[in-house]
Amino acid sequence: MLLHLSARFDPQRDAASWLAGQFLAAAPRGADADNLLESLETLHIVNVERNGNIIYTLKGIWGHTSIGLYDPNSKTNEHLYTFEKDLHVISCSVNNEKTLLAVSFLQSTEEARTDLLFQPVSKCLTLLIEICPVNDVKVLKAVDSRIRVQFLYPVAEAHAFPESCLLLISEDKYVEKFDIRVVKEGHAAVIENSSHLLKEKIADDFIWIQWDTLEQRLFYIVPKGSRDILNCVQFYPDKSFTLILEVPLEISLTDTGLKLVNLDYDYYQRQETGPQPLNLQVFTSEKGCMCLCHCMAPVNPGEVSYSVFFLHKGCGKTYTVALERMDSLQVKDLLFLNLDYYVAVFLPGHFLHLVNTQYPDLMCCNFFLTGEDAKINGLHKSAIVSPLKSVVLDLSTGRMFTLEISKQALLQFLWNSKLDGDRMATLHCLLLHVGSTTESETEIIKWISENISTCFTFDPIQEFIIASLYWRMCPEAVNLDKHLPYTSLVCWNELIPGITCTTHIISLPVLKVQNCKGFWGKLISILECVKYDESHVRFNSKVLWREWEKLHLKKRTEVKGITTYMATVFEYAKKVHSNFNTWRTEGRLVPLFKDEDDQQQLLTGLMAVQLKDHLMRHLPYVSKKRIEEIAVDYVSKLLDLTYRIMENVWKKYNLDSWVFSLGQRGTSNEILVFHFMCRMLHAASGMCLPLPPGFHTLHTGLGVRCLPLYTLLLYIDQGVLHLTETCILKLLKELDNTEKKEKLKLGTLTRLPEAISNKIGQLPNHPVGSTTVVRNYVKLLFEKLRNKWPNMLLVDRSSAQIEFLPLNYLVTILTEVDHQGQVASVERGTVNVRLVEEVALKHTTMLLGL
């Protein structure tokens, strides 16, 4: 099971012992433990406040109705008030200071006629009670329609507020706000001027309403002309409020009965039969996402359809699921649960769909689970509400749970998944919810090393590096998440078995208030990005590719003016490498050489420079110094992740004590590591990602040990292996002069890049001491010369003297130079290759008249 429930409030665990003490103190004679258990069965939660406090009612055997409060932080219970009669409490709320209690309850007509306290006689009474201590009771409403009550809580709770604000939400479709000032009279908290409370209308004529407990927002839908309009009122700590959002909806809603979300804890009313109200909810996340979820009436039997409108992205998706069987569960049992980054769509016994709210364009970021994977710890009751993010409440049992995505279940699901979509969703979820930690990344790398060849629609190495970098770097700066790539994929066209999806464009919401902070500021920022092409907003490897090619072209053609820019690029490469701390003397497992690979240095510095420039264009309010730090840190962490992958693969194949030596043949484990490094190189090349210094030297060294000569040279020709100066020097120094090794050295020498060839040729003590290598090397040079000057083919080849002229001149020149003492003798193994090459070619071309 991917989702795990942990009890946040259990009456038996959290309230029974405290209630036992209260019961024994107030119970009449003859009451026993059975009476207490009977009372516990009547415990029902009637509200969950913003601070997490749980308000519940309990009916005693002596006909009383008590209201208690459980604080999950201190794990203590508190008695708030007791009615000396059996009441059906509809709604209840306590203010932040616990001085006032608002209660709305139903009373039978017979009871009301005999009770003079609650006059006039009405079906529903709403009371405001002073409880610090109990001083007075004020009737706020006496009507026949049901009333819900909710105190506003300040978002900032640094100090207590002398004024309390109370919302009254009526089923007659209006919302009022009461401003209540509390004054101290001795040890008592008393309502000031209780007969003239300030009252203000917030909304009316709505067909649906939802209270956002955590963020203190009121969403409601009103019909306006031919369209339904979603409104949002934001309440602030200073008692003010603002109609901050109006969004025309792309769906037509039928008024089948008022639906109250996060305001309706009345378990008994939920059991009543009749037309089902709208199954619709709005969810927001701390990243600025806003989604509207709607379950539609079934069109075809055996199917269920629901829509998720991503208001922050200007798109909506309608999902249709064919049910394998029909049972007592109906569409009304479909639950929408807020998991912040995900919206969980749960139909007990059938499926669980986790919709990624940040990236709705890629279906592979969603989970669609059936069978055992779709169960939630036996949660199957229809009387389920979700008062807070990642919290579910079972009204039938009075138990409240925290809903979490299980890390162990995610890892198990990753290993067991056969579909690329499930693997992608799990990988991102692990990095997002569990966090991009060393432990989680190690587990993912283990999975990658075992399954790298089983993924067909994405490269797991690319996706791990890009996604891990994204979740690591997002907290570094505001809005940075909108400008970094979060996936290696451009699009996803694969279908998810068991579900069909259609996408439609919707209008972007327009906020009525600008210059907002917090959630609304983030939403505005997202909407601004959506208005423009996101491919230009996010850092793109295609741009890096273009700059990389330009830089190579300029470097080859030596265009003027490139010196300063190149110097800047290499300077950033030095910053990245100094920040990339893999050169520690202790604990370094992979034997990377700290060699100077110009190509990788160039790419490393270029990526840092390009990322810096990109962020400076899109984050003008962040200082240049901070952006430079972010760019260098990003590339450094990229190199670190690559090294971490190599390190874990090194451990897996027991190469802990591996010594870089080219004179021995590779083991079976080394062959496996070599091919894994080939996949790493392919992944990096595909997204123009730099590799750690020494990667190519180590990779080529493994190739020398593990590949036959023909295959090795083919890999070099096709660009799989990149020759470096360090590798060539070790190759020429460590290999002996056997015929097989001579062919290997000759093959690599003739394939050297020009820059490296020039460096090696100019070394005076270069360890090329074999006349065989020298002769073959010069022979190949002359073959290239004949290809360059076809007139050489006109030379009469019948003469052995002319046919072997280069080699004859080579031996002659070597002898003359050796006698002159300009270089050491050939047998001692130090020949100036560049000098030999120049002299031999000069004399030969003179003789041939070229």
Spatial neighbors of 91 by CB under 8 A, at least 6 apart, are: 46, 47, 102, 103, 104, 147, 148, 149, 150, 263, 265, 266
Q: What is the DSSP letter of 12?
A: I
**How far is it, in rounded angstroms, from Cα 153 to Cα 156?**
9
566-579 burial by CB neighbour count: b if 16+ within 10 A, else e? beebbebbebbbeb
Strand partners, 58: 66
Q: Could you list the residue range(s) of the whole structural domain that residue 120 is in?
A: 1-204
Spatial neighbors of 187 by CB under 8 A, at least 6 apart, are: 133
Q: What is the DSSP letter of 678?
A: H
328-364 burial by CB neighbour count: b if 16+ within 10 A, else e? ebebebbbbbbbbbbbbbbbbbbbbbbbbbbbbbbbb
One domain, residues 520 and 568: no
One domain, residues 545 and 528: no
One domain, residues 420 and 524: yes
Cα–Cα distances (Å) from 737 to 12, 731, 771, 814, 827, in that order, read 84, 12, 10, 19, 11
Q: Kindly report the CA angle at 279 between 274 and 281, in degrees rounded to 5? A: 145
Would you say residue 181 lies in a domain? yes
What pLDDT does 549 receive? 82
**Total domain count, the chain:** 3
One domain, residues 573 and 525: no
Instruction: Give the number of C-alpha atoms closer than 13 A to the C-alpha of residue 100, restricted to the C-beta side.
Output: 29
Of 706, 722, 738, the one marking the end of a domain is 722
What pLDDT does 829 receive? 45
Would you say residue 87 lies in a domain? yes
Would you say residue 245 lies in a domain? no
**CA 540: distance to chain centroid?**
18
One domain, residues 556 and 421: no
One domain, residues 577 and 473: no
Task: Supply 710's token pair.
Answer: 């023909």
One domain, residues 631 and 501: no
What pLDDT does 212 receive? 95
**How far is it, in rounded angstroms, from Cα 624 to Cα 597?**
29
One domain, residues 505 and 581: no
Give the pTM: 0.84
**How far is it, in rounded angstroms, from Cα 344 to Cα 336?**
6
SS3 per residue for 579-607: HCCCCCCCCCCCCCCCCCCHHHHHHHHHH
Phi, psi of 771 (to 5 degrees): -65, -30
One domain, residues 129 and 188: yes
**CA 703: distance to chain centroid?**
37
What pLDDT does 628 receive? 95
Of 167, 184, 204, the one marking the end of a domain is 204
Would you say residue 561 lies in a domain? yes
Give tens-digit pLDDT for 247-260.
999 888 876 678 89
Task: Supply 668's token pair.
Answer: 């079976």
Taking the CA atoms of residue 322, residue 323, residue 326 and residue 327 in that order, the dihedral angle to the nearest 10 degrees is -140
Q: Could you tell me if 212 and 231 are in contact, meaning their C-beta atoms sit under 8 angstroms apart?
A: no
**How far is it, in rounded angstroms, from Cα 87 to Cα 59?**
8
**CA 240: distance to chain centroid?**
35
Would you say residue 762 lies in a domain? no
Residues making up the chain, counted from first to last:
850
One domain, residues 40 and 162: yes
Q: Could you tell me if 213 and 387 are in contact, meaning their C-beta atoms sit under 8 angstroms apart?
A: yes
3-state secondary structure of 47: strand
Of 487, 515, 532, the one marking the end of a domain is 532
Pairing relationship of beta strands 259-261 and 208-212 according to DSSP bridges: parallel
What pLDDT does 461 receive? 96
**How far is it, in rounded angstroms, from Cα 255 to Cα 806?**
97
**How far is it, in rounded angstroms, from Cα 487 to Cα 526?**
18
**How far is it, in rounded angstroms, from Cα 488 to Cα 683?**
10
Quickly list DSSP for 373-393.
Answer: GG--TT---S-EE--STTEEE
One domain, residues 626 and 492: no
Nearest to 631 by CA among 610, 652, 658, 660: 610
Would you say residue 163 lies in a domain? yes
Would you say residue 632 lies in a domain? yes
**How far is it, in rounded angstroms, from Cα 112 to Cα 121?**
6
Cα–Cα distances (Å) from 134 to 84, 234, 497, 512, 719, in that order, read 14, 32, 60, 43, 84
Nearest to 331 by CA among 261, 259, 263, 278: 278
One domain, residues 169 and 83: yes
Is the bond leading into 120 cis (omega within 30 degrees of zero)? yes
Pairing relationship of beta strands 303-310 and 290-295 according to DSSP bridges: antiparallel
**How far is it, in rounded angstroms, from Cα 686 to Cα 415?**
25
Would you say residue 307 lies in a domain? no
Is the bond leading into 509 cis (omega within 30 degrees of zero)? no
Spatial neighbors of 30 by CB under 8 A, at least 6 apart, are: none
Mean pLDDT per 10-residue interval, the chain, length 850 residues: 89 87 63 64 90 90 86 93 90 94 82 49 89 89 94 71 88 95 85 88 94 95 89 90 92 78 82 71 93 87 91 93 73 86 90 91 88 80 82 88 90 92 92 74 92 91 94 85 89 84 90 87 89 78 85 63 79 89 61 75 93 92 93 94 92 81 86 95 94 91 92 92 87 79 82 71 49 57 58 42 50 55 44 59 61
Q: Could you tell me if 392 and 401 are in contact, meaning their C-beta atoms sit under 8 angstroms apart?
A: yes
**How far is it, in rounded angstroms, from Cα 413 to Cα 98?**
46
3-state secondary structure of 85: coil
Amino acid at 677: M
